[in-house]
Amino acid sequence: MSRRTGFALMTGALALHLWMGFSFIRSAAPTYDEAVHLSSGYACLVTGKCVMGLIGHPPFSEMLSATALLAYKINNFCAHPYFAYFQPYHYGDLFLYQNTVSAGKILNTARAFTFLVWTALSAFLIFFFAKRLANFTTACFSVAVFSFLPVFISNNALVTTDAAASVFYLGAFTFGYAFSIFPPGKAAVKGVKHFEEPDDKRRYLYAGLAGVAAGLAMASKFSMFVLPPLVITMWILHNLFEPKFRFSRLAWYSSVFAAISVFTLALACRFDLGLYFESLAGTLRRLDSGSSSFAMGTYSLKGVWWYFPMALALKTPLAALLPASAGLWAVFRRPRSAFLWLVLPAIFYFAAALMTKTQIGFRHIMPVMPFLALLAGLGLDFIFEKGGGRGRKILKWLLAPFAVSWCCLLFITHPFYLSYFNELAGGPGNGWKYFVDSNYDWGQDLKPLGAGLKAIGNPPVILSYFGTAKPEYYGIKYSPLKAGLSTVEINGTGEEVCALKRPLLAVSATNLQGVYYPDHSVFYWLKKRKPLFTAGYSIFVYDLSGDKEGLEKLSGIFDSQGLNREAECLRGSGKQQWSVTSNR
């Protein structure tokens, strides 16, 4: 591939990435934790009060996202009891929906800024890494693969800490690798040419940049605390395979790197490292206790070892997995120490994820995904390399239909990329059968729900919503049917169940699978019914008119919540009777 063609491929892919990302931003309501991240980041940024940000997450990524809001004159509400008494979800709701600027403008401004920052940094680091690892063509292919991975299109466009962890984890190893392969200086110890003596300024630069990236990673997500020792371990391994340093010199560089990492962390946390380590210990205890999760019909509080392998297999386009496998083959076919930096960081993080007891989303292995894009770029360069034999020709033929399918699925999923599932799962329409929560349904589809209801006359609905956004903000008239997990009170818009002219029930996919209900089968009876329509991919709307069995099941849920009057109305003993044909 010529440099001009490679550059055109890369820039075209990045342009499409930006278009898809901004389309997703416009389509998505606030996801479950975004209001918390944004409000705590803004409070930390403008007042220096970072306590809220350190409950569950360090503050840097949240503060970065909130930086864009400095353009507006908005309230921080730090004097409110919600902030004073550490009620982050209520505080986030107050900050987002009762501020001087509309919730949509606040959130999407922060999202757009965040998305541009993470996209620019990810593309630069992937290109920088791949070009030094292999060549210009590999770098262009790698950036193109990154651009079309739905996990980046969606999660990089959200105000969360996952994208920051992915970017800075990659950054630490990118600059750590650049440090390791930097050519030795002109002067050397006599008779030992492979040991470098002089302190090269550029080598200090790469060690320093690796330290900054590691520090910012730790200041963005607690799981990154292992990063400094990992980078130092990689330097030791690389030096064992290709000796360049005396141990004392390598120890000196490692000390500089570690010092810069800690200083960067301290600076991002406003030099309150005591609070950082206290919060880190608390987070590790919570993670060890586990969380309710659902994976392919299996419910668990402690997790299953295959959760992330299956999520990777079902939420990554097959047309990316195939060249990544070819890239892995190319690595082991011609092994060299530089490839340690491509494979080992991904393996370590993925292996650590297998042991976690909190399994609520594919996003938790996002730091692995840039390395998959790099492997895919290496694999594509290997497949299309001149002079390839029969094996490469077979790979080209295999790749073509998968690439077409990848494009088709992105078109079908548009703009709801958070709910993407690949061909093995049957596409995004079937994703809820395999994984939910932040893999599929994170509260993002209230906006299309409002649009769908408006298209049929904007009738009120009984709503079982998994999320923290306000349905009324999107014009939805509803009576709440509360989920098993509720961090913000959803009070409804005053719609009486007994006054409904049409019994419409809207249920989020996570609630449909009963993940956070004591009885996981609470909504199983809906699975054999055809929805009237689906909002995005994650909220199903059912018309229960004339469906006596369905109304009886629904009334039982109201009874279990002590709402006996509503239950009786649904059973038909109230004034309102429904007799429209069922959509079963």
**Which tokens is 556 given?**
């039982």
> Given this model, what pLDDT does residue 96 score?
96
> Given this model, what pLDDT does residue 38 score?
95
pLDDT tens across 470-496, in order?
Answer: 999 999 999 998 755 555 566 677 788
CA neighbours closer than 13 Å in the CB half-sphere of residue 74: 28
Q: CA Rg, the chain, in Å?
A: 26
Q: Which amino acid is at 220?
A: S
> Cα 457 to chain center, whole Å?
35
pLDDT tens across 98-154, in order?
Answer: 999 999 999 999 999 999 999 999 999 999 999 999 899 999 999 999 999 999 999
> Given this model, what pLDDT does residue 392 score?
67
d(CA 212, CA 218): 10
**Which tokens is 145 given?**
């693969």
Task: End-to-end CA distance of the chain: give it in Å, rounded.
Answer: 55
- CB atoms under 10 Å from CB of 457, counted, come to 7
> Confidence band (pLDDT; 50, 70, 90) for 186?
very low
pLDDT tens across 197-222, in order?
Answer: 455 788 899 999 999 999 999 999 99
pLDDT: is 54 or 229 the higher one?
229
**Pairing mode, if any, of strands 478-480 and 539-543?**
unpaired
Q: Is the pLDDT of residue 55 over 70?
A: no
Q: Who contacts 330 (Cβ-Cβ below 8 Å, separation ≥6)?
A: 378, 379, 382
**Residue 283's closest CA among 214, 219, 215, 221?**
221
pLDDT tens across 152-177, in order?
Answer: 999 999 999 999 999 999 999 999 99
Q: Compute the average pLDDT of residues 192-198.
A: 49
d(CA 582, CA 87): 43
pLDDT tens across 327-342, in order?
Answer: 998 888 877 777 889 9
* Consecutive H or E run containing 464: strand 461-464
Q: Who contacts 134 (Cβ-Cβ below 8 Å, separation ≥6)?
A: 377, 378, 381
Q: Who contacts 115 (Cβ-Cβ below 8 Å, separation ≥6)?
A: 18, 21, 22, 25, 156, 157
Domain boundaries, the chain: 131-402, 445-571
**Which tokens is 376 given?**
């895919």
> Given this model, what pLDDT does residue 23 score?
98
> Confidence band (pLDDT; 50, 70, 90) for 387?
low
d(CA 106, CA 254): 42
Q: Compute the average pLDDT of residues 558-579.
A: 74
Q: Which amino acid is at 552?
A: E
pLDDT: is 444 or 400 the higher one?
444
pLDDT tens across 497-526, in order?
Answer: 888 889 999 999 999 999 999 999 999 999
Question: Do 38 and 65 touch, CB atoms closer than 8 A?
Answer: yes
> Given this model, what pLDDT does residue 197 score?
47
Q: Compute the average pLDDT of residues 272-289.
A: 79
Sign of the CA dihedral running 262, 267, 272, 278: negative
Mean pLDDT, rounded, of the chain: 89
pTM to 2 decimal places:
0.93
> Given this model, what pLDDT does residue 271 score?
81
> Given this model, what pLDDT does residue 485 score?
56
